Structure 1
Amino acid sequence: MTTSPEDRHEHRDEVLARSERLERLPFTKKLGKLLGTSGVGWALDAMDVGLISFIVAALAEQWGLTDSERSWIISVGFIGMAVGATLGGLLADRIGRRSVFALTLLIYGLATGATALVGSVGVLLVFRFIVGLGLGAELPVASTLVSEFAPRAIRGRVIVWLEAFWALGWIAAALIGYFVVAASDDGWRWGLAIGAIPALYSLIIRIHTPESVRFLETKGKFDEAESIVQDYEASAGPEYAYDGPTMRSEEDAQRFAVPQPERHLTIWSRSMRRRTAALWVIWFAINFSYYGAFTWIPSLLTAQGFSLVKSFEFTLIITLAQIPGYFAAAYLIEKIGRRSTLGMFLAGSAVAAILYGQATAEWQIIAAGMMLSFFNLGAWGALYAIGPELYPTSVRGTGTGAAAGFGRIASIITPLLVPVFLGWGGNVLVFTIFSAAFAIAAGAAYFLPEQRGKAIN
C-alpha cells in the first residue's frame, strides 16, 4: 500500500510524464474518494441487475408470466447492455470517461424509475432495454477511469475493491426483494422506484469526479491534466511533489523523449489480437454462466417448491458470500498475479456449479450457492482488473467496452436457454453446462499476458 523512499526519489532528477507521476503515488485520500464515488455508482448498477431477478419472480405470480416472457424480460436488458457496452467504450475514448459514466447513470436511473409505472409486458420490455443501454456502458467505463488513476503497485487490488461494490449492490437488491418486493402486490413497483436513485447520483459523479489524465492528454488538454496530477500529488504529501519540467504540448513530449502510443493501433492489431480474443472468450463464458445462474436462482427455487419469501431469503444468504470472494481476489491478485487469480476463481466456479446442480436439501443449496457466489464474484473482480491493463490509453475504453459488449451476447441468450435446458435435464443439466463454460474461461485466462506490476500507457 505504500511506496518506498527509493521509489519516491528514483526519478526525481528525470523528466516524468504525468502518467508516471501518478504511477509512483501511494493510496491517497484522493484515490479513495474516486474509488468510493465510482464504487457507489457500481453498487447502484448491481442493485438494478439483481433486482430484476426478484421482480420477475414476483410478476410471474401476479401476471401469470410464461417461461418465455420471464426469459425475455431478463434478456432484453442484456441486449441493451451489449449495445451500451460497445457504444460506451467508443464514446469514452472520444468524449471522456467521466462524461460517459455520468450520462449512463442518468439514463438507466430514469428508465428504472419509469419501469415502476408500467402495466404490460410490452412496455416493461422497452424500458428494460433502455435500462440495459445505460448499465452496459457504465461498468467498463468506470473500471477504465479508476485504472487510469490507480498506481501500478496496487492497481489490480484497487479495481477488485471497485468490483466489490457490486456485492453491496446485489445485497441491497436482495434486501429490497425480501423486505419490499415480497411485502405486497405493489412491492415490485416500489422496488423499481428505489432503483431510480442513480439518476440523482449521476449529478454527483459529474461534479466531483476528475477526468482521466491520460484521456485529457490525448485531447491536448495539458494544463487541466497537470492540475489534476498536482492535486493527487498534494494528497500524497510534500515528499511526492514534482518540480521538474512538464509536458504542455506534443512537441514537449517528443523533446522530453516520453513514449507516445501507437497512432493507428486497434484492439485487433497484431500486438493486441491474442489478448483481445482471449478476453472475449472469458467475457462470453463468464456472462453465460453468471447471469444464467443468478438471474434464475429465485425462480428456480420457487419451482422447487419453496415460497417466494423463502427463495428470496436463500438468495440473500447466498449473495453474502460474494464479499469474502472479492477480498480473497483482492489479496491474491497482487500476490500471485492476475492470470493465476482469474484462472483459479473460474475453476472454483466450475466446481461450485456442479455441486449446486446436484443440491436438493436446503443446506446443500445454501452451501453450494455460497461457494458459487464466492468464486464467481472473485473471478469478476479479477477480470475487471485485467481488462483495462491490456490496452493503451488510445483504445482502452474501446477494448474493455467491446469485450463487455461481446460478453453480453451470452447474457442475452442464456436466460432464454435456461427453460430449454431445464426441460431436457433439470437443474443438473443447467448447472453442468454452466460449469463447462466456467472451465473454458479458466483455460482462456492463461492466454492473457500477466500485467502485475507493469505500468499502463
Structure 2
Amino acid sequence: MPLRPFHLRTAAIVSGGTFIDGYLLGAVIFAFPAIPAGFGMNSWWDGLVAAAPLLGVVIGGIVVGWLTDRVGRQRLFTFDLLLLLVGSALQLFASGPAQLGVVRLVLGLAVGADYAIGPALLAEFTPRKLRSSVMSSLNALWAVGYLAAAVVGYVIVREAGDEGWRWALASSAVPAAVVLLMRVGAPESPRWLISKGRGAEARAVVDRWLGSNVSLDEAADTAEQRPWRDLFGRAMWRRTLVGGLFWTALAVPNFSLFVFLPDVLNALDVRDEFWGTVLPLAFAVVGSLLGLAVLPRIGRRPALLYSMGVLAVLSLWVGLLPGPAWLTIIVFVLFAVVLALAGNLEFIYPSELFPTALRASGLGVTAAISRVGAAAGTFLLPVMLDHGGVGAVMVATAATLLLGMVFTALWAPETNGVSLEEAGAPSPASGAEDRATPSARPAP
C-alpha cells in the first residue's frame, strides 16, 4: 500500500520516543562538566551516572518487551512517556550522585520500554517497500535529539548559573510532555491482534486508520503463544545474538565516546569544546538522513559490515596516529556520519529478525544486550582516559567494532525487501539458509 498520513503520524509519535532518548544522553555532554565539586562527582561517578540509563534499558527492554507481546503495544505506549516526563523533572531535586544515578536508571527503564514497543508498532504498520525509509526516521530523530540536547545544554549551563546543569538535564521533560500528548489515542497493532486471534478488532483498526479497501491476511500472523525462551531456541538464537551484538558494536562508541566527547577531544588537544563536539553531532544528523536514501538500496549485511569496517579504521587512526586539531575534528565528523548511517539499522533490523509473537520481546532483548556493552563502555571510558589515555580508548573502540563485524559476517541474515512474515521466520537449521538474500526466497 502507499504511504498515508497515518503512517507519518505513527512514525512521528514513535520517533518522538527516540528523540527523547537521544536528548536524555545528549544533555549530559555539557551538564556533567558543570556539576560543582560539592555535589560529589568524580571519574567513577561520572561513568556510573552516565551508564545508569543504559542499565535501565536492559531491565526495561527485557521486562516490557515480554509484557508487550502479551498485553499489546498500545497499552504501554503512553505509560513509558509518563515515566520519562516524571523522571526528567525529578533530576532537579537530586542531592548527590547516588540519587541522580537512581533517577537516570528509572529514565532508562522507560527508554528500554519504548525501544521494545515503538519500533515493533511502527514496523507492523509500515508497508514493506517503505519500511527502511520510515524506520530510519527513528535513528534520525535520535541524532536530532542528541544534537538539540547538546546545544540547549550548552546554552543553559552558560546562562543559568551554578544550577544550570540541573535545568539542562531536566529540560527533557519538555519533549516528553509533547510526545505524551501526541500518543494519546494511538491504535493497537493489527498484526498483534491477529496473532491473538482477534481478527475482527484488527479489521476495525485497519478500516478506521488505513481504509476499508486495504486487504488484511488474517492467516499471515496467526500463531500460538510463543514463550520468551524461544528467542534462544534452536531456530532463533543466532538472530537474537547477532541482533544484540551488532547493536552493541555500534552503541559502544555512540554512547561512551560521544557522551564524553569533550573530554576525549581535550585529550587530543582540541580546545574548542563547543564546535569540536557540536560539529560531529550535527553531521550525525546528516548521516542519519543519508541512511534514509541509501539503506533501502543495499542489503542489511553489507551496510553493517562496511560501516563497522570504516569506523574501526577511523578509530585506529585517531588512537595510533593522532594529528592536528583540525584533522581530528574532520575524522570525528566522518566517524559520526558513518556511525549514524549504520545506526539507522539499530531500529530497522531487529524489527525484521523476529516473528510477530516475539517481535517486541526480541527488540527488548537485543536492546538490552546492546546496552550492557554500552553501559560497560560508558562506565569505563572516564577511567580509561585517566589511566590509559585516549589511545587506549580508541583502540578498544576499534576492537569492539571488529568483533561486531565478525558476528555479523557469521550469523546475520539478509532481510532487505522481505515481508515481515518471511523475515521473522528462520529455518530451524540456521546457517547458510538463514543468510539467503531475498532473491533466493520464495516470492512474497
TM over 0.5: yes
**Per-residue CA shift, 1:209-242, capped at 9, x if unaligned?**
22211112233433332122124443xxxxx824
Residue aligned with 2:344, SS: helix
Return the offset for 1:435: 1.1
Between the aligned partners of 1:60 and 1:312, the Cα distance in structure 2 is 20
Change (3 A) 1:293 1:229: same
The unaligned stretches of length 5 or more in structure 2 are 422-444
Residue 98, structure 1, aligned to residue 74, structure 2: yes
8 Å contact kept, 1:28–1:232: no
Larger C-alpha radius of gyration, 1 or 2?
1
**Per-residue CA shift, 1:174-229, capped at 9, x if unaligned?**
11122112332221122123211254235324424222111122334333321221
Aligned amino acid, residue 278 of structure 1: V
Between the aligned partners of 1:231 and 1:215, the Cα distance in structure 2 is 17
Identify the match of residue 395 of structure 2 among 408, 432, 452: 432
The match for 2:7 is: 31
Return the offset for 1:368: 1.4
Residue 280, structure 1, aligned to residue 235, structure 2: no
Identify the match of residue 230 of structure 1 among 207, 218, 227: 207
Identify the match of residue 178 of structure 1 among 141, 154, 158: 154
The match for 1:348 is: 310
8 Å contact kept, 2:39–2:97: no
Identify the match of residue 26 of structure 2 among 42, 47, 50: 50
Residue 293, structure 1, aligned to residue 257, structure 2: yes
Identify the match of residue 450 of structure 1 among 414, 420, 426: 414
Return the offset for 1:54: 2.3
Between the aligned partners of 1:262 and 1:344, the Cα distance in structure 2 is 38
8 Å contact kept, 1:326–1:374: yes
Residue 219, structure 1, aligned to residue 181, structure 2: no
Between the aligned partners of 1:79 and 1:263, the Cα distance in structure 2 is 29
**Per-residue CA shift, 1:81-104, capped at 9, x if unaligned?**
211111121121122223323211
Residue aligned with 1:325, SS: helix
Change (3 A) 1:205 1:219: farther
Q: Is the deviation greater in 420-429 or in 74-83?
A: 420-429
Residue aligned with 1:452, SS: coil
Between the aligned partners of 2:202 and 2:19, the Cα distance in structure 1 is 28
Residue 375, structure 1, aligned to residue 347, structure 2: no
Between the aligned partners of 2:162 and 2:324, the Cα distance in structure 1 is 29
Identify the match of residue 329 of structure 1 among 268, 277, 291: 291
Aligned amino acid, residue 356 of structure 1: V
The match for 1:7 is: none
8 Å contact kept, 2:39–2:95: no
Between the aligned partners of 1:344 and 1:305, the Cα distance in structure 2 is 30
Return the offset for 1:442: 2.3
Change (3 A) 1:67 1:340: same
Return the offset for 1:144: 1.2
Between the aligned partners of 1:425 and 1:215, the Cα distance in structure 2 is 49
8 Å contact kept, 1:48–1:195: yes
Between the aligned partners of 1:346 and 1:383, the Cα distance in structure 2 is 13
The match for 2:426 is: none
Between the aligned partners of 2:40 and 2:263, the Cα distance in structure 1 is 13
**Per-residue CA shift, 1:390-421, capped at 9, x if unaligned?**
11110000111101111111122112222343
8 Å contact kept, 2:116–2:361: no
Between the aligned partners of 1:258 and 1:286, the Cα distance in structure 2 is 33
Aligned length: 416
Question: Structure 2 length normalisation: TM-score?
Answer: 0.87
Between the aligned partners of 1:290 and 1:401, the Cα distance in structure 2 is 19
**Per-residue CA shift, 1:56-102, capped at 9, x if unaligned?**
12116674632111111112222212111111211211222233232
Between the aligned partners of 2:39 and 2:306, the Cα distance in structure 1 is 42
Aligned runs of 1:27-426 on 2, under 5 Å?
27-59=3-35, 63=39, 65-183=41-159, 184-201=161-178, 203-234=180-211, 241-242=213-214, 260-261=222-223, 263-264=225-226, 266-302=230-266, 310-357=272-319, 358-426=321-389
Residue aligned with 1:313, SS: helix
8 Å contact kept, 2:20–2:172: yes
Return the offset for 1:304: 5.8
8 Å contact kept, 2:29–2:150: no
**Per-residue CA shift, 1:226-283, capped at 9, x if unaligned?**
122124443xxxxx824x7x78xxxxx5xxx657336546212322122122222223
Change (3 A) 1:323 1:104: same
Q: Is the deviation greater in 412-421 or in 261-270?
A: 261-270
Return the offset for 1:42: 1.7
Aligned amino acid, residue 120 of structure 1: G
Q: Percent of pairs identical after alignment?
A: 27
Question: Structure 1 length normalisation: TM-score?
Answer: 0.84
Q: Is the deviation greater in 156-165 or in 323-332?
A: 323-332
